[in-house]
Amino acid sequence: MSTPQTREQWQQLADNLTFNGQAFINGQYQNATEGDTFACISPINGQVLTEVASCGPADANQAVACARAAFESGAWRHAAPTERKQTLIRFADLMLAHQDELALLETLDMGKPIRDSLGIDVPAAARAIRWTAEAIDKVFGEVAPTPHNQIGLVTREPVGVVAAIVPWNFPMLMAAWKIAPALASGNSVILKPSEKSPLTAIRLAALAQEAGIPAGVFNVLPGYGHTVGKALALHMDVDCLVFTGSTAVARQLMIYAGESNMKRVWLEAGGKSPNIVFADAPDLQKAATEAAAAVAFNQGEVCTAGTRLLVEESIRIRFIALVADALKQWQPGHPLDPATSCGAVVDQAQFDRIMSYIDIGRQEGATLVSGGQRVMQASGGLFVQPTLFDGVNNQMRIASEEIFGPVLSVIGFTTADEAIRIANDSIYGLAAAVWTSELSKAHKTARALRAGSVWINHYDGGDMTAPFGGFKQSGNGRDKSLHAFDKYTELKATWLVLD
Ligand code: NAD
């Protein structure tokens, strides 16, 4: 069947979709050892899609033992890099071959528009796997500069058993950023998707197996963070824990690692990214269009969302009008309608959180310019209008705390130094943008910003070639690019003194 073009066609496909909620351990789908399940509820209409295995410590133990055995067997890690490359490329190709099904699962599970899950999530996840696979037979070790009678080799080895705990906002893509370099460099992986969006991770397991990844090398454990997530993080035989999620959980994972085996911990955490618009921005309309997208794309459930809009006072009123206008393009619609740009919020808890922050903004004295309402309530789904606040100062909770919803705070400034000071006055340091026509001002500002990604005259650029991650409490380590291999490998120095 060709890719659906209308909401009705997507709905028809959804009606015929089979959902698998089982764990995948050692090449087999299975229920949780204790038989526990939880309901996987679609935020589009509140309907239960399926029951999902709620894994716990026993499942974690089993998966880790299988992952360890697979690692020790060498079936994957000793395979030539070209062989791992070909297998992973097959995996990426299979993802694309199943793009409609994967996109639909993602949309039904967490509410994002089908246009995005099909146009962004699936291809970007497949590209992450393909790009990384293509790189793995092109990364070399080093030969140290030594005296004549010595040889020093610096090589990289897979770290062993990797547990990857990921969030619900880009379930497949965040998983791909972890599993691609982990698998490419020869590790065994246990993927723990968010309890709010487990379906694509579970489906990927079968595709990985079909591509030829050996049993035990790629396992998927659905379940809650405080049960199976915690069990993996505390496990004495997990060598490396990679995470994308909130800063609060990231902090807890460092404690678990310290309390257990000092496993390596790599964290991609929260953000409160500043988007700085100077009066001399080259194109104010473009800046406004992108400022709106920066907070409304994916319902604002984006770690790099440009939630603090810093605008030079001389253009503030004019610019806010442009942004308010641009936000009209982001009014919520049915996620299966290909025309929809803004879908449903992931679940009731997240919905309540967003609505409570909108109340907090009002109580703090910010001016509500537009949005702020629940819409499409009759659908049974969770839909929030993109919301624009003016008159915000950086100390307000809506400016300092990560909301993870489509709520934009406008903060005025008068000098570049003031803008930089406000931008950096955050516990986070994930991303930032600066809009100006002046080359020196652009680069001076970019240099001064304490953030892992800085965009000049656009928002949210980059691709697999560039590292992604945060300064400060936005995390450590980097996903994407060749730098990602650092997280999944140990460096070994082998020294030989010649007779
Ligand atoms: P979360 O921290 O609540 O959960 C993330 C994952 O951690 C889930 O799989 C969850 O089950 C698990 N978890 C929760 N408690 C745990 C525990 N005690 N032990 C082990 N695992 C546990 O985050 P979320 O709500 O799923 O996602 C939103 C957050 O993710 C936001 O803060 C966002 O900024 C962040 N995020 C960051 C990036 C990035 O690259 N920096 C990307 C996307 C999302």
pLDDT tens digits, the chain, 499 residues: what are they? 799 999 999 999 999 999 999 999 999 999 999 999 999 999 999 999 999 999 999 999 999 999 999 999 999 999 999 999 999 999 999 999 999 999 999 999 999 999 999 999 999 999 999 999 999 999 999 999 999 999 999 999 999 999 999 999 999 999 999 999 999 999 999 999 999 999 999 999 999 999 999 999 999 999 999 999 999 999 999 999 999 999 999 999 999 999 999 999 999 999 999 999 999 999 999 999 999 999 999 999 999 999 999 999 999 999 999 999 999 999 999 999 999 999 999 999 999 999 999 999 999 999 999 999 999 999 999 999 999 999 999 999 999 999 999 999 999 999 999 999 999 999 999 999 999 999 999 999 999 999 999 999 999 999 999 999 999 999 999 999 999 999 999 999 999 999 9
Only one residue has tokens 């982001």, namely: 330
User: Which stretches of 99-228 are DSSP H helices?
Assistant: 99-110, 114-116, 122-136, 171-184, 199-211
> Which residue, judged by its Cα, is nearest atom 30 of ligand 1?
245
Helices (H), strands (E): how many in the chain? Answer: 17, 23
Ligand 1 atom with the shortest distance to the CA of 256: 19
Q: Which of 220, 244, 453, 472 should be mutated for ligand 1, with most atoms under 8 A from CB? A: 244
Distance 376 CA to ligand 1 centre (A): 28
Distance CA 7, CA 337 (A): 4
CB 226 near ligand 1, within 6 Å:
yes
198 CB within 6 A, ligand 1: no
Alpha carbon distance 330, 299 (integer Å) = 9
Q: Separation of 311 CA from ligand 1 center, angstroms? A: 30
The distance of Cα 185 from the centroid of its chain, to the nearest Å, equals 21
What tokens does 21 get? 């909620």
Domain parsing of the chain, residue ranges = 7-269, 274-463
pLDDT of residue 30: 98
Domain 7-269 adopts which CATH fold? Answer: Aldehyde Dehydrogenase; Chain A, domain 1 (3.40.605)
At residue 280, the 3 state secondary structure works out as coil
Three-class DSSP category at 116: helix
* Residue located nearest, by CA, to atom 11 of ligand 1: 225
Cβ of 175 closer than 6 Å to ligand 1, yes or no, is no
What amino acid occupies position 454? Answer: V
Is 201 close to ligand 1, i.e. is its CB under 6 Å away? no
Residues labelled as active-site residues: 268, 303
The pairs formed by 479-487 with CB atoms below 8 angstroms and a separation of 24 or more are 479/177, 479/178, 479/244, 479/268, 480/128, 480/177, 482/135, 482/139, 484/132, 484/177, 484/180, 484/181, 485/139, 485/156, 485/181, 485/184, 485/185, 487/181, 487/240, 487/242, 487/264, 487/266
Is the beta carbon of 228 within 6 A of some atom in ligand 1? Answer: no
CA of 194 to the centre of ligand 1 (A): 8
Is residue 477 in contact with ligand 1, taking CB distance under 6 Å? no
Q: Using alpha carbons only, what angle is made at residue 203 by residues 202 and 209, rounded to the nearest 5 degrees?
A: 100
Please give the model's pTM, rounded to 2 decimal places. Answer: 0.98
Options 3.30.870.10, 3.30.450.20, 3.40.309.10, 3.30.465.10; CATH of 274-463: 3.40.309.10
Q: Is 195 in the pocket of ligand 1 (CB under 6 A)?
A: yes
Q: Pick the atom of ligand 1 nearest to 245's CA.
A: 30
| DSSP code for 160 | S
Q: Are 127 and 464 in contact (CB under 8 A)?
A: yes
pLDDT of res. 1: 72
